[in-house]
A and B are shown apart, each in its own frame.
Chain A
């Protein structure tokens, strides 16, 4: 027997309605019901950050949120970053600074970076490393990710020098 609940929410600025069971995580709802597969499943226990999304603007691990909890709430996933003008400045910065290799952790890191820069437009390197401690990357060794966040910050603040 299924015990489905109708959930109405906003995902990437679009109203959505979907049916889900209480034990389905927000991550499962995004990927398997709404078809938004940009958000990745890594550890499924809150350690890796691959499933990072914004819930009412706050960074959360979507594997640790239930789909039924988002009734009336607003979610931003990686699919919500780019718009008709093109890539989001954070995405552009990750391209310019080679802030990824295999790319599996990248959606979560882009979202975590947005959450950081929304609240702290000029983070220090230590701020960036501490904030991204919940986003694991097997490839880059993190240095290029940190650099990409710094480039993103200067793009968003219009403070980039020519060779940034």
Chain B
């Protein structure tokens, strides 16, 4: 790796000041599981790494039944997946965060980094999109909030402006307008040739909410590795609203997701295989989300 300077500030203000100075060429550094690999490959040669793991706001998990879940951008996947409230309230997020790398990567890789790396295959991104998550950014001109669905602009590109730092991710309460939290559910699934430690050939996240009459009142579907960015397929979720949660309704929504996918053929799979997988994974993710909405465990 090229030489660089290293700073580990303890406040957001200090970090933003370091990142905003164009002379430094600084980049935020959390788990390093993508960044250091990319630097060794010569993709980046930052003048400085700003280690954000000592900033309290970036190292916090907070859950409140009415406010929802706030995940600091530097929280590692293992810690997130072991958090009792996250396990209980957001199993769809655990589906994705628990399959990013193996045990050692899990202890370094962060959800914030997975989002900022903006890989089309980033597993946590569709999982966050379907949960309606948003990202809080701090920059030289103040803070702003961006829906995770709008965060990735192209492979490796995000809406982060120069000097901006991802502070935290916010996930709404599991069922925002309902006292009965078990009435919504989410699931993320991906296909990989190995059992673990691999990059998605394709992935699908689904979330749905059920009304008292058992009819779907809201639904969201998002895909990974089938477009230049993780893909929010609003039309597929919208098609489920007002429907009964049947396998036929799930298949119809999955067909819309397949239409929306824009897969390419590469070393991991062909476009045709990916489009096929979108159908299978979306149906299964909806099925799992429905099971969780009913308070049942997923059967696959």
Contacts and interface: CB of A to CB of B under 8 A. Distances in A.
A21 B1 CA distance: 11
A65 B108 contact: yes
A116 B103 contact: yes
Q: Binding site of B, secondary structure by majority: helix, strand, loop or mixed?
A: loop
Contact of A61 (B3, B6, B40, B108): B108
Given A44-B40, A46-B37, A59-B107, A134 B51 contact: no
Given A61-B108, A134-B197, A112 B103 contact: yes
A140 interface: no
Given A46-B101, A134-B197, A60 B40 contact: no
A135 B101 CA distance: 11
A23 B32 contact: no
Given A22-B49, A66-B32, A131 B37 contact: no
Contacts of A68: 6
Given A22-B4, A133-B102, A134-B102, A64 B195 contact: no
Interface string B1-16: 1111110100000000
A45 B37 contact: yes
Contacts of B53: 69
A115 B1 contact: no
Interface string B98-126: 00011111011000000000000000000
B78 interface: yes
A69 B51 contact: yes
B55 to A, nearest CB: 14
A130 B78 CA distance: 14
B20 to A, nearest CB: 20
Nearest to A49: B104
A13 interface: no
B60 to A, nearest CB: 18
B31 interface: yes
Interface residues of B, number: 28
A23 B2 contact: yes
Contact of B32 (A52, A59, A64): A64
A130 B3 contact: no
A66 B33 CA distance: 11
A32 to B, nearest CB: 14
Given A46-B101, A134-B197, A58 B6 contact: no
A130 B104 CA distance: 12
Contacts of B49: 22, 66
Given A64-B108, A133-B197, A22 B103 contact: no
Interface in A70-110: none
B195 A61 contact: no
Contacts of B146: none
A131 B280 CA distance: 27
Contact of B31 (A64, A129, A130, A134): A64
A157 interface: no
B300 interface: no
Most chain A beta-carbon neighbours within 10 Å: one of B33, B103, B105: B103
B103 A134 contact: yes
Given A47-B197, A64-B37, A66-B36, 20 more contacts: A3-B5, A5-B6, A23-B1, A45-B40, A49-B102, A52-B104, A58-B107, A59-B103, A60-B104, A61-B108, A64-B31, A64-B36, A66-B49, A112-B104, A130-B195, A130-B196, A132-B103, A133-B196, A134-B101, A134-B105
Sorted nearest first, the 6 A-B pairs with minimum C-beta distance are A134-B102, A22-B6, A133-B196, A23-B1, A45-B37, A133-B102
